[in-house]
Structures are given as structure tokens and as C-alpha cells.
Amino acid sequence: MDFIDYQTYAISTDTLPNASNNDTLPEPVSRLNLSTATATAIQQQQQQQQATDPTASFEIPQLFQDDVKKKKQATDLHGKMTQYAQNSIKKLDSLTTATTKLPSSSSSSTNESSLPVPNDASSSMELTNAILSRKLSSILNDSPIANNNTYQSTIQMRSCLKSLESGMKLKNLPNEAKLVTPEYVGTLARKSLRNDLESQLLKEHVLVLEEFRPIVRRIKRFTSSVDKIESVAGTILNKNEGNDHATSKVFDEVDQLKNQMEWLRLKRQLLINLKEKFTLNQVEDDLIVNSPINADFFVVINKVLKIKENATYLLALENNNAGSCLITEVNSTLQLINKKIFNFLVDFIYNFENSTSSSFSFKATNINDNDDNLINFQKSLVFLSNDLPYFDEFLKRVTSIRSKNVLDEFLSQFDTASKKPITMLAHDPIRYIGDVLASVHSIIANEADFIKLLFKFQENEEQTKLNNMEPISIVQSNMEFLNGLDVKLLNEIIQSVSNSCRIRVEQIVRFEENPIINYRITQLLNLYQLMFVNKGINSNSSLILNLEKLQDISKDKIIEYFEKFIANVKENSLSKENNNNNKPKDRKKSVDTGEFGDDLLPPEWLSDYLRELVGLFEEYEQNNDSDTTNEDHENKLINVRNMKTLVDVPIFEVLLKQISESFPLARKSEDIKISMLTVQINCFDLIKSRLQPFATNIFKTSTKIHESWQKISDNLDQYVKQMEELQEKLLFEKTGLSLYHNLFNMIFPIDSVQDELDYDMYISLLDNALMNLETINNNIHEKLNEYVPHALTDVQANLLFKLTSPTIADKICEKSFGNLSKFYSIFREILLHLFPDSQDDILKILNFSNTEFNTLVGI
């Protein structure tokens, strides 16, 4: 029995000339001997096989529907094989009826013309291989996979072949070689392979069908329901047939319901959106109540603010109830948030306080610029600025807490139990006040550090961060309450020490009498005002105003000191005068020398006064610098009013009055006049010499002040001049030349006489009886000879001896003796000119030559 090789069939379709007809199958070819096999033999073999093989009626299971199968037949291998199998079975059936005999091997030779038969065995094998190759390639080419002719199809084909090969290996199929052998063993192997393949295929199909089992079961389960629905539907449709009105009504109702459903859906969507936009969810509610102040909390705050902003739009609706209700609700939430933030801020400050030590090493909370706590604090502060009452309350709390702290710190400096208390040591008020103000300065430095850290909103970074908080209220965006908040708080906090500081400094200022120390105090106070203002303390703050007041007090004390000084002088002078009035016996002495004693020196008080004044001026000169003083001219110590008190009043009022009162007979007595002038010159010389260093600075401060200085100089010059005149007059009187000096001056001023020609001006005097030489001799000669030799000594020793300034004394001497000498010389010359015949007499009367005269008077 020969195994029907379907592939051989397939090849034969190509090779045989009648292969084009699908119904005409090629003759089955015996593998045993293809060359000798005849169609008849094959047919016989097939019939035999059919008879014996129970699988002859085998039909490849149809997994597909008929139409699909038909398509597949033409396309895939499975279809083809099915077709071949069916055709061959049909053919076999027909053959069975035609002939029952199997072809013998001998008869094959009779049909050799139908197939090309090789001459020998080797060529027969080659031919077989060639045919098989062609068949295989034909099958592969016909395959739908191979027809695609793409890389993917090639891969697919390869994988198919590989799986076939691997399947063969797995199934422990007989050796491949055995399968392809043409002998009986090969036939058996191929047969068993077929069986295996069929059983395997069946198993596979069963497995596939098993997967469909649950689906089928489900379908069966629904079958009854579907049938029922179908029957009901049929009933309904049948019933409603011809009742269009009812149907349309139902459809309308359905439409309405549909619309209503759509409307409700939209409404739901709208409400959901409204809920999202206008309400807080439970988590957010919980965050507001229970969450700590952090970034999440601010997100919720932003949402609340957004809701409030959105709620305002609702107010524009005709019925604004929703808007107003929502706003009320949001406001209550915001109130809660504000309260929470307020508590957080207060808590923050209290915690800071608790962590701050007031010990020697100043401590502050370790909050750096990038700290989240700080950012939260500042964000909270910005938010709280929307609620002014809370915001103000918080600022008040901060101010009160910090003020107390600052005040405690300040007062602890004076606690004697402390490590280094500020105490008044060795009566150094400047040091004490300096320590007090330095401690305030230090407090300001510490406080400014703290305040700037918490309350200074950096322009760029923080502003950007804060601006990121949406939405921003108008107040917030203006930063009305936040700009300069640090400076404002610093000022408010520092105010707490202003009174204590004032009291401490005032204790010193009130009792300090020394004008120089007082001036130093004013300078110190002024300098600290400047430094405090530079560190952000407002110039109109109570601290600065207190310092200004203290400065004014100190300044007033300076002037007061000098006023008191002068008042004492006046009082003393008055009491002395009263004493003198009560003691008439001493009156004469008092009248002669006044308050000034026999040496006619300036009064002691004047020296003391000037010493104090000069000390003050020196201090003023050293420290008065436009860099360190912020006072205007009127507020400066040296101003017109103060200079009048310091200089004009004591000199031009008190001193001159005292001098004039001391020398009441000066007008009557030349001696007293000389004494008075001596005192005046001494006093004014002292004043001028002591105040001279300040002529170009302090006395140049203003025109009016300079006038005081000018007045002093003018007075001195005037007194010197008066003294010169008086001395001159006395000299002329004592030398007997006075009469002639007056006479000559009446005719023509002696000072104007230039040369001998001018002498003729005096010719008219020849008629005067006084110009008689004898009279002249009697009037002049004796006096001249008596006085001139010791005139210089007389003047210097007696008259000018009491002048303290030798320069002025020399000047007076020089001037008066110069005039005397000049007159003597001119007088002598004029007499010689007028009396040319009596020259010897004249030379006897005026017996000193000009040189001798000058020598004698010290010129």
C-alpha cells in the first residue's frame, strides 16, 4: 500500500499539462518507484488503501464557515490541502467503482509515457529531488505569507518552518531521514506522522473550542431573556401599530425626559463648578482650623480670597442675596484666618522672646533670610495687613513686648548688681552720659538688627514672593502699612527708653555748672542725635526730641552760668557800694581808686570771667564742625543773642558802669581821669588780648557779632587816644609850653607846619604881649629845665606805670613826647624866625637843642 503524498499531488499539478483544471487531479505517484509507477497502479493502491484504512473518510475539520473556507481554499495551505483531500477522496470513490484492481508493478511500464522516467537509479533520485524542490518552492510561493514578499512575511515563513521543525522535534517524531525514505519504513513513518498531526490538530481544536464554552454558556443563559424581550417587543410593536399618536406622545415624553436629563446634567456640572469656585472643601476647612501656618495654609487663604473676589461679582446680579451671603460667609472665614494668623504672629514673637537672652552676649533667634519660618511670618504679616485692627493690635503687641525688653535691658545697665553697671565715676559727667547714650546706641543696633530681620521686606526677592500671593488686596499691593514698617517699629520700640534715658542724662545736665562741661555735653548730645538719626530714628521721635531738649537745657545752662557770674558781680558791686555809703570815712579812698585798688588793674571778676569765656570759646572752636552739628545758626551756642549776653553785657554794661561808678570825679580831676582811663585801657587791653584768637572765627560768625569785637577794639583805641591827649596836655602844662601851644595852634595848627615859609604865619603873634621874650622866659625856661630832664621818668613811673600793657604805655609816651618835641622844635624855630636879633636870648630861654630835647624825652 502506498501512502498518498499530497505534496506530490501538488507538484504534479504544475508538471502535468492538464494541471490547469482543478478537478482533474494528477496521478498519485508511488514513492517506491516513481519511474515505474503508473496511474493505474497508483489508483489501485489507493483503492486498496481506501479499503483497508479506516481513515480514508477523513476530513480535515472545518474551523471556518463555508464562505471563509472557500476563500481560504484558494489562499492558504490548509485550504489547499483540504481541497486536495476532498478531491482525492472523491476520485478514490469513483475509482473504486471503476476498478477494484491495484496496478501491478509490471503494468507501470506501460504508462511510462505519461511521466518522464529516468534511465538509471541516480538520475531517478535527482529527478525526484528536482521535482520535490520545485513542488516545495511552488507551495511556498503559493503560500499567502510568501506572496506578500516582504521582509516580515519572510520572517513569518521562517518562523512557521521553525515551529514546524521544533514541533517535530518535540513530538519525538521519527527521524527526518526516515520520513523521507522511499521505503516502507518511510511510508510507515509518514503515516504515523500524519496520525500524530491529526490527533494534535484535534487537541488544538478542542482547546480552542473550550475557550468558547463559557461564552456559549453565557449566551445560553441570556437566550431566554432575549427571547422574552423579543416577544414583549413584538407584542408592544404589534399593539402600537396603528396608534401613531400614542407613539409620538411617548417619544415626546422621552425627548422631554432626555432634555430634562441633559438640563439636570448641566445643572449638576454647573453646581459642581460653583462649589469648586465658591466653597471650601472639608480638607480646606480642616486646614483653616487645624493646620499650622505653612505653605498649604496660604494656598487655602488664597482660595478664600479668590472666593471673596468672585463673590463680589455675584453682587452685580439682580438678586444679590447669594453674593452677600457668600461674602458674609467668606468674611467670617477670613476673620477666623486673621485671628489664627494673629495668634501665630504673636506666638512667634513670644517664642522669640523666650529664646532671647538678655545676658551679656546678645542673642537672637537663629532665623536666616531663607528660613521658611521667616517667610511664613512675613507672608502672615502681609496677609494680616488686610485686617487693620488685628494688624495694629499685632504691632502694638510687638512694640510692647520689645519695648519692655529694651527698657529692661537699658535699666539693667544701671543695676549695681550687674557685671558692669553704668555709674558716675570720679565725677566724669561726660563719661557717664557717654555710657548712657552708648548703651542706647547699642540697644538701637540690636533692635534694628532684629526688626530688619523680621519686618524689612526686601525689595526684590521678598516682594516677588509676596506678590506671588494671589489675589493681592489694594492695601497689600500698595504696601502702605509694610513699607518702612521696620523703621516705624524701631522708632516705637526705642521710644520706651527715651524717658529713662532723658532722666539719666538730665540728672547730670541739671546739676552741672561748668560751662565747658556743659558745652561738651551739648556736643555729645548733638553727636548722638546725628548717629541715632543715621540709624533710622526719626528726628521728631521722642528720643531725639528729648536729646534736643537736654541739649537746649545744657546750652541754656552755659549762658545761665555766665549770666549768674555777671549777676554776682553786679550784686557784689552793689553791696560794696552800699558798704561805702555806710562808711563815709573810706569814701575818699574808694573814690580815688574805685573797685580797682591802687594798681588800677582790671577787676578780678573780669579775669575770671574771661578765663571761663575763653575756655568756652576754645572748646567751641575745637568741636564746632559742620559735619557733626545739625543746628542752624539761631540754635548754635554762638549766636547774636548769646554773644550779647556773653560779651556785650558784661563788658559794655557791667564793666564800664562799674568803672564809671568807681571814678565819679573823673570829669573834674585829671588825675582821676587818668586813673579811670588806665583802668579802662587795662580792662579793654585784657579783654582784647584774651579774645584776640577768636577775632577771625567766632567773632566773624555774623556781622552783629563782629560789631561787638569792633566795639571792644574801638573802645580801647579811644581810651588810648584819650590817654595820649591827657598825657600830652599834662606834659605841655608841666613844661610851661601849654600856653604857647594853644596860642600857636590858634593861629595855625602846629601839625600843619611843613617848612620855614609857614613860620611867617605866626608873625602876627609879635603883637601879643605873651610873645615877649622876657615873658616867655618867665613862663617856660625854669619849668622846662626843671621838668624835661625827668619828664620821661615822671610819665613812665607815675602816670603810665599802672598801664599793664607796656606797648600801650610806650605808644602813649611816644606819641605825647613826640608831639611835645615837635612843638618844642617848631616853637624854637618860630621864635628864632620871629626874633632874628635876639637869637642868643632865645637860645638861652630854650636852652635845649632839638637833639638834646629829644634825648631827654627819650625819642
The residues binding other proteins (CB under 8 A) are 292, 294, 347-348, 351-352, 354-357, 360-368, 371, 373, 420, 430-431, 434-435, 437-439, 441-442, 445-446, 449, 520, 524, 527-528, 530-531, 534-535, 622-623, 625, 627-628
CB of 437 to other proteins, least distance (A): 8
Nearer to other proteins, 20 or 534 (CB): 534
* Least Cβ distance, residue 438 to other proteins (angstroms): 3
Q: Name the burial class of residue 806, with classes exposed (0-12), middle (13-18) and buried (19+) by CB atoms within 10 angstroms of its CB.
A: exposed
Choice between 352 and 481, CB closer to other proteins: 352
CB-CB contact of 186 with 180 (8 Å):
yes
Please say which residue, 350 or 801, places its beta carbon nearer to other proteins: 350
DSSP line for 72-86: HHHHSHHHHHHHHHH
Residue with cell 547774636: 640
Q: Give least dist CB 361 to other proteins, A.
A: 5
- Alpha-carbon separation of residue 103 from 27, 33, 90 (angstroms): 12, 13, 19
For residues 120 and 142, what is the distance between their CA atoms, to the nearest angstrom?
A: 32
Indicate the residue among 434 and 594 with the shorter CB distance to other proteins: 434
Least spacing, CB of residue 701 vs other proteins, in Å: 19
- Pull the grid cell for residue 532: 541715632
What is the closest distance, in whole angstroms, from the C-beta atom of residue 428 to other proteins in the complex?
9
Please state the closest distance from residue 394 (CB atom) to other proteins, in A.
15
Q: How far apart are CA 153 and CA 755, in angstroms?
A: 155
* Least Cβ distance, residue 373 to other proteins (angstroms): 5
Question: Which residue from 279, 819, 44 is spatially nearest to 811, judged by alpha carbons?
Answer: 819
- Supply the minimum distance, in Å, between the C-beta of residue 441 and other proteins: 7
If the CB atoms of residues 37 and 341 are measured against other proteins, the closer one turns out to be: 341
CB nearer to other proteins: give 373 or 722.
Answer: 373
Residue 748 and residue 759 in contact, taking contact as beta carbons nearer than 8 Å: no
Q: How far is CA 768 from CA 327, 775, 780, in A?
A: 126, 11, 16
Query: Minimum CB separation from other proteins for residue 369, in Å?
Result: 9
Between residues 505 and 655, which has the closer beta carbon with respect to other proteins?
Answer: 505
Least gap, CB of 389 to other proteins (angstroms): 24
CB of 378 to other proteins, least distance (A): 13
| Residue environment code for 554-589, b if the CB has 16+ CB neighbours within 10 A, otherwise e | bbebbbbbbeebbeebbeebeebeeebeeeeeeeee
Q: Based on CB atoms, which residue is closest to other proteins, 149 or 368?
A: 368
- Cα–Cα distances (Å) from 386 to 261, 327, 382, 383, in that order, read 45, 16, 8, 6
The CA distances from residue 549 to 287, 468, 498, 678, 770, in Å, are 54, 47, 12, 45, 77
CA distance 387 to 333: 13
What is the 8-class DSSP label of residue 419? S
Instruction: Provide the residue count of the chain.
Output: 859
**Which of 687, 686, 688, 662 lies closest to 673 in space, CA to CA?**
662
Residue closer to other proteins (CB basis): 631 or 671: 631
Comparing CB distances to other proteins, the nearer of 623 and 713 is 623
Please answer whether residues 27 and 42 qualify as being in contact, where contact means their C-beta atoms are separated by less than 8 angstroms.
yes
| Residue number with CB closer to other proteins (87 or 412) | 412
